[in-house]
């Protein structure tokens, strides 16, 4: 990490925010139980490519840290805090949203809850709800059950089957 130069304060701030995710204060959150359920589903689900299991489990583990930080430091939660997770999983998980896989979409739906926490910024308002609605549409009936906690946490109400007709 550069310790001198015009970008040094930015790097120092980013490292400090990243280290908060690893602290004991951020070890648990209300999301952990729901993420543990998703983790169990992913761990036992048959996958065409077994290497993807590691990608999914790592993304879930990093989400647990992000949620722990979001709750432990709620008053100081920043945009950068949410997007650390995106940075960490961008190379392996985000391309799976193009396909999309049920597991990747479900994991991303949990990330939408972190985006909802940023609604205080005018440019982030409603993005958590908008993206979880899109995730919900991409998931099959089983996948929708996996994200029930995230849907409830955001406060988004899925359309009923009769409204879709």
CA atoms of 49 and 150, how far apart (whole Å): 26
Length of the chain counted residue by residue: 165
CA 97 to CA 115: how far, in whole Å?
A: 17
Q: Which residue has the tokens 């945009």?
A: 79
Please state, in angstroms and rounded to a whole number, the distance separating the CA atoms of residues 69 and 63.
10
Q: CA-CA distance, 29 to 25, in Å (whole number)?
A: 10
CA angle 13, 3, 25 (to 5 degrees): 35
In the three-class reduction of DSSP (H, G, I as helix; E, B as strand; rest coil), residue 91 is classed as coil
Beta strand ranges found along the chain (DSSP E): none
More confident residue, 75 or 130: 130
Q: What is the pLDDT of residue 57?
A: 98
C-alpha 154/C-alpha 162 separation (Å) is 23
Evaluate whether 70 touches 77 at the Cβ level (below 8 Å). yes
pLDDT band, very low/low/confident/very high, at 26 (cuts 50, 70, 90): low
Q: For 89-114, what is the mean pLDDT?
A: 96
Contact 111, 89 (CB under 8 A): no
Confidence of residue 2 (pLDDT cuts 50, 70, 90): low
């Amino acid at each position: 990490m550069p310790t001198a130069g015009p970008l040094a304060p930015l790097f120092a701030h980013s490292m400090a925010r990243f280290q908060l995710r690893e602290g004991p204060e951020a070890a648990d959150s209300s999301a952990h139980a729901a993420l543990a359920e998703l983790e169990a589903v992913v761990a036992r689900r048959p996958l065409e490519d077994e290497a993807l299991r590691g990608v999914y489990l790592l993304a879930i583990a990093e989400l647990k840290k992000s949620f722990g930080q979001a709750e432990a430091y709620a008053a100081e939660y920043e945009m950068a805090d949410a997007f650390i997770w995106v940075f960490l999983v961008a190379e392996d998980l985000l391309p799976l949203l193009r396909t999309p896989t049920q597991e990747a979409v479900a994991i991303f739906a949990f990330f939408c809850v972190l985006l909802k926490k940023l609604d205080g910024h005018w440019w982030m308002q409603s993005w958590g709800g908008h993206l979880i609605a899109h995730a919900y549409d991409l998931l099959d009936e089983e996948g929708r059950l996996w994200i029930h906690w995230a849907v409830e946490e955001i406060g988004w109400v899925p359309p009923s089957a009769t409204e879709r007709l």
